[in-house]
A and B are shown apart, each in its own frame.
Chain A
Amino acid sequence: MNSQLAEAWAHLPAYLGGHVAVSVTALLLGLAISLPLALLSLRRPTLRRLLLGFASVVQTIPSLALLALFYPLLLGLAALSERVFGAGFSALGFLPSVLALTLYSMLPVLRNTVTGLMGIDPAINEAALGVGMTRRQSLLMVELPLALPVIMAGVRTAAIWVIGAATLSTPIGQTSLGNYIFTGLQTQNWVFVLFGCAVAALFALAVDQLLALMENGLTQRRRARVTAGGIGLLLLTAAALVPGLSQARVTYVIGAKPFAEQYVLAALMQQRLQEAGHTATIREGLGSAVIFNALAAGEIDAYVDYSGTLWSNQMHRNDVKPRTEVLADVAQWLDREHGIVMLGSLGFENAYALAMPRPRADALGIRTLADLAGRASNLSIAGDYEFFGRPEWEAIRKAYGIAFREQRQMQPEFMYEAVSHGDVDVIAGYTSDGRIAQYDLTVLADPKHVIPPYDAIVLISAKRKDDKALLAALRPLIGAIDVTSMRGANLRAADGKASPRDAAQWLSDEIQRKQAGTKPGGPVR
């Protein structure tokens, strides 16, 4: 527990810094856009309806989806700008997060500014003109000061929303307090999850109270309070940003998808690079499509993917080939289409596999997918968020004629628990997952070989293809990890007992031990 807390503390400068940078930028940008728009729309009813309508629609989009949508949009724009101007920009992380959060901040500011200004007694507006104010003077001296409490309420709402939603910028590559939450959820590290939530909440509360102090100072005309609130906000922002800025620039960026195995492998690669005297950082929690595009764009330098994932998601193939041919085709395609180097396979597969508790499978006499087909209409299945949308699920259903009574999407961590308790009958698990053995599940055989092979492969960005230091540091991992070692490491990382870094260290020791064992006389450290 204490070590988890210590690790959480160690991440705080980077995570909080990223979080503050993205939310403060989005909030400032949101204010800079929303306030003038609200003023502009004040005497233009059509524009006002359009703006408020647009902002309301944006608000109905779940924030995670809004953030996710900006990534491909910017990726397209970056490619266009690369083609037109010869210079692209990073579509990963900061930019899409800021833009999505900016949009997210607009509704409360727009709505409250319009409501506040339109709610002023017309007699007061008339008096402002009557004493000889211009429209502008009336706005600045009378209308805005009177609407200030309502406007500030909108700004405070926007601040809280943005700071909360910024935790969701982790999957599109922005380091934020969401890193605690996503990593914690994937590795069942509840200390991390709670820590991330608590820091985000404290930050939001602090900003809210400082804004309240400024508002109070403005309406009560206590200049000291306005100054104190402003300085407080600046100090808070600076305190969060400065430690992050002062951190040394890192040479290599390793990507990781949002699950335990990926965290462990990323940590392992980071350790390798650090041992070789380089600096390396991990961009974790990136979605499957995001991470591949990030590598193709050179925004990350290396990560581990799976041959079957690329085969179906990127190459759009649904035919089935033997393992080695798939690997060869994938390597060729990566090089041809993106200049990406496939350094090699780590030595194990992390394929999808349908699994069910051994006693239940034995009782029903189910050993293969073909056996399952006859019983499936009475059974339910759970899979992760991707599985039911993937071509191999389509292929399994077609090849074996399987139709389940019910299918449910679940956070992978909870699937195993659910199937062992009988909440669902079958799960689409992962072959390298330690919990298959832990929960005594039977992996159902695939006699027709419709599930593509999922060899774990190390990918290197085109930019780094000739980087000897990087290649030299990672090459020893090729072929060095068998599925038992990986399951062991995954189990350690997934139940929250060990951090991904500790699990990676264990895996590293395991690799050493096995290499020493199989190759007597090899180097022993």
Chain B
Amino acid sequence: MTDRRPAISFDNVSKRYGDGGAPVLDGVSLTVREREFLAVVGPSGSGKTTLLRTVNRLIDPSEGVVRVEGRDVCELDAVALRRGIGYVFQGTGLFPHMTVAENIAITPKLLGWDRARMAARVDELIELVRLDPGKHRDRFPAQLSGGEGQRVGVARALAAGPRIVLMDEPFGALDPLTRDALGEDYRRLHDELGLTTVMITHDTLEATLLADRIVVIRSGRIVADDTPRALLNDAPNDYVRALMATPRRQAERLIALQNPAAGRAPQ
């Protein structure tokens, strides 16, 4: 994977608010390569969302440089940059007064696509995220289930054909079944469309099962950066070991429950 070109790179990025307080990001350096699926894992308040937002300039770093496809984002027009990058928001972020079709077509509309091209793209995307254009196109977000809503959120992020997609705890608010299906479906899209994805999650299991690579961030610093397999087998420190042990322990308990002879029975 190292032969691929970098899609996003962070070079010693820090972010401080006001003065005197602890930095939210503290000298983060990281490179995300093209077509890579990167999961950023960490506890609440660790700075992972801030890190994600520096990519499309929803937040500008206090120090350091963020590059997208080799160019310093601070030298790019923020609005144009955002239109070129897909963003899936926590809890959908759909506009409640717009239909599914209008939500999906928003970025193409801002880019000035013509009506016919937008309509065709909307139906294509609705099918891509496994919804039914005839049934869902003209619904409002309030008329959708949580899973359907986030599928629309994904479709909206992909509408203008971005090469990079940023996801901020996209599946966090969904029930486990929906979440699993959506995660799988998105990973398929990621591969099919050749996307570069950075996904924030606090669910280690989700990160382990979906991502090519996991970055663990804590108090604004990167404390681990490797493939899921490597982190599961050989964690660089106790925190990461504990973090990675959780899904494994859960899996072992699950197996034990299913088949008492194979392991230690729960008391």
Of A123, A132, A142, A219, which contacts B83 at CB under 8 A?
A132
**Which of chain B's residues have a CB closer than 8 A to the CB of A130?**
56, 58, 82, 87, 89, 93
A289 within 8 A of B: no
A362 within 8 A of B: no
- With both beta carbons as reference points, the residue of chain B lying nearest to A146 in the complex is identified as B97
Expressed in whole angstroms, the Cα–Cα distance for A294 and B166 within the complex equals 71
B110 within 8 A of A: yes
The A-contacting residues of B in range 71-106, CB under 8 angstroms, are: 79-80, 82-84, 87, 89-91, 93-97, 106
- With both beta carbons as reference points, the residue of chain A lying nearest to B57 in the complex is identified as A129
Asked if B58 and A126 sit within 8 Å, CB to CB, the answer is yes
Contact with A along B106-118 (1 / 0, CB 8 A): 1100110000000
Expressed in whole angstroms, the Cα–Cα distance for A142 and B80 within the complex equals 19
Main secondary structure of the interface of A (DSSP, over half): helix
**Which of chain A's residues have a CB closer than 8 A to the CB of B156?**
131
A124 within 8 A of B: yes
Asked if B82 and A129 sit within 8 Å, CB to CB, the answer is yes
User: Contacts A129-B58, A131-B82, A131-B87 known; A142 to B95 CB distance under 8 Å?
Assistant: yes
Of B56, B90, B96, which contacts A146 at CB under 8 A?
B96
**Which of chain A's residues have a CB closer than 8 A to the CB of B82?**
129-132
**Which of chain A's residues have a CB closer than 8 A to the CB of B111?**
132
**Which of chain B's residues have a CB closer than 8 A to the CB of A126?**
58, 89, 93
- With both beta carbons as reference points, the residue of chain B lying nearest to A130 in the complex is identified as B87
- With both beta carbons as reference points, the residue of chain B lying nearest to A127 in the complex is identified as B93
- With both beta carbons as reference points, the residue of chain A lying nearest to B94 in the complex is identified as A127
Expressed in whole angstroms, the Cα–Cα distance for A142 and B95 within the complex equals 7
Asked if B110 and A133 sit within 8 Å, CB to CB, the answer is yes
Expressed in whole angstroms, the Cα–Cα distance for A492 and B243 within the complex equals 97
Of B91, B95, B97, B107, which contacts A132 at CB under 8 A?
B107
Expressed in whole angstroms, the Cα–Cα distance for A123 and B94 within the complex equals 9
Asked if A131 and B107 sit within 8 Å, CB to CB, the answer is yes
A134 within 8 A of B: yes
Q: How many residues of A contact B (CB 8 A)?
A: 16
User: Contacts A127-B94, A145-B97 known; A132 to B79 CB distance under 8 Å?
Assistant: yes
Asked if B79 and A134 sit within 8 Å, CB to CB, the answer is yes
**Which of chain B's residues have a CB closer than 8 A to the CB of A124?**
93, 95-96
Asked if B110 and A131 sit within 8 Å, CB to CB, the answer is yes
Contact with A along B41-72 (1 / 0, CB 8 A): 00000000000000010100000000000000
A137 within 8 A of B: yes
**Which of chain A's residues have a CB closer than 8 A to the CB of B90?**
123
Asked if B79 and A127 sit within 8 Å, CB to CB, the answer is no
Asked if A123 and B89 sit within 8 Å, CB to CB, the answer is yes
A37 within 8 A of B: no
**Which of chain A's residues have a CB closer than 8 A to the CB of B80?**
132
**Which of chain B's residues have a CB closer than 8 A to the CB of A137?**
110
**Which of chain B's residues have a CB closer than 8 A to the CB of A146?**
95-97
**Which of chain B's residues have a CB closer than 8 A to the CB of A35?**
none
**Which of chain A's residues have a CB closer than 8 A to the CB of B84?**
132
Expressed in whole angstroms, the Cα–Cα distance for A166 and B77 within the complex equals 51
A79 within 8 A of B: no
Distance from B105 Cβ to chain A, minimum over Cβ atoms (Å)? 10
A128 within 8 A of B: yes
Asked if A123 and B91 sit within 8 Å, CB to CB, the answer is yes
Expressed in whole angstroms, the Cα–Cα distance for A219 and B97 within the complex equals 8
- With both beta carbons as reference points, the residue of chain B lying nearest to A133 in the complex is identified as B110
Expressed in whole angstroms, the Cα–Cα distance for A132 and B58 within the complex equals 10
Expressed in whole angstroms, the Cα–Cα distance for A350 and B176 within the complex equals 91
Which among A126, A127, A132 has the greatest number of chain B C-beta atoms within 10 A? A132
**Which of chain A's residues have a CB closer than 8 A to the CB of B110?**
131-133, 137
The A-contacting residues of B in range 214-267, CB under 8 angstroms, are: none
- With both beta carbons as reference points, the residue of chain A lying nearest to B153 in the complex is identified as A127
Expressed in whole angstroms, the Cα–Cα distance for A92 and B188 within the complex equals 76
Distance from B109 Cβ to chain A, minimum over Cβ atoms (Å)? 9
- With both beta carbons as reference points, the residue of chain B lying nearest to A129 in the complex is identified as B58
The 4 closest A-B pairs by CB, nearest first: A132-B83, A127-B93, A132-B82, A130-B87
**Residues of B bordering A, CB below 8 Å:** 56, 58, 79-80, 82-84, 87, 89-91, 93-97, 106-107, 110-111, 156
User: Can you list 14 A-B pairs with a CB-CB distance of less than 8 A?
Assistant: A123-B89, A123-B91, A124-B95, A124-B96, A126-B89, A127-B93, A130-B93, A131-B87, A131-B156, A132-B83, A132-B84, A132-B110, A132-B111, A133-B106
**Residues of A bordering B, CB below 8 Å:** 123-124, 126-134, 137, 142, 145-146, 219
Kindly list 14 other residue pairs between chains A and B, CB separation below 8 angstroms, not including A124-B95, A145-B97, A146-B95. A123-B90, A127-B93, A130-B58, A130-B87, A130-B93, A131-B82, A131-B110, A131-B156, A132-B80, A132-B84, A132-B110, A133-B110, A146-B97, A219-B97
